Amino acid sequence: MAIVNVVKLGGSILREAVSYQQVASIIALQPTWRLIVVSAQYGVTRQLWEQGRAQHLSAQEMDALLAQGELDSAQKLAEACRIQGLSVRLLDAREVMATDSQYGQAQPDFS
């Protein structure tokens, strides 16, 4: 069985646009990093949360709004990696992972 290195990049290291290029440069030096999970850019989740609360969104709508921060961040990082000459494939977690549909508190569904 092949071992896959999974790396989680938190929003605290993605503070501004240039951060994505810096992280992509690091990724280019790490050939064993095969799967990279990325958070929303620093401060984005809080901004989206406050926006959602002000609009009185349902838990399902709030989950969709908050997910947009991670999706945007993943797209930015993928593009930064491509600029570095890396071959990348952007995976949308919603297409490869199922949850129990408990909006606001969803848990992975491993069945």
Q: How far apart are CA 106 and CA 103, in angstroms?
A: 6
Residue 62's closest CA among 21, 26, 29, 106?
Answer: 106
The residues that bridge with 108 in the sheet, in sequence order, are 99
Q: How far apart are CA 81 and CA 77, in angstroms?
A: 6
| Mean of pLDDT over the chain | 92
Percent of the chain exceeding pLDDT 90 equals: 69
What digits encode the pLDDT tens for the residues 2-41? 778 899 999 999 999 899 999 999 999 998 888 999 999 9
The answer to whether the CB of 77 falls within 8 A of the CB of 24 is: yes
Average pLDDT over residues 41-58: 96
Confidence of residue 111 (pLDDT cuts 50, 70, 90): confident
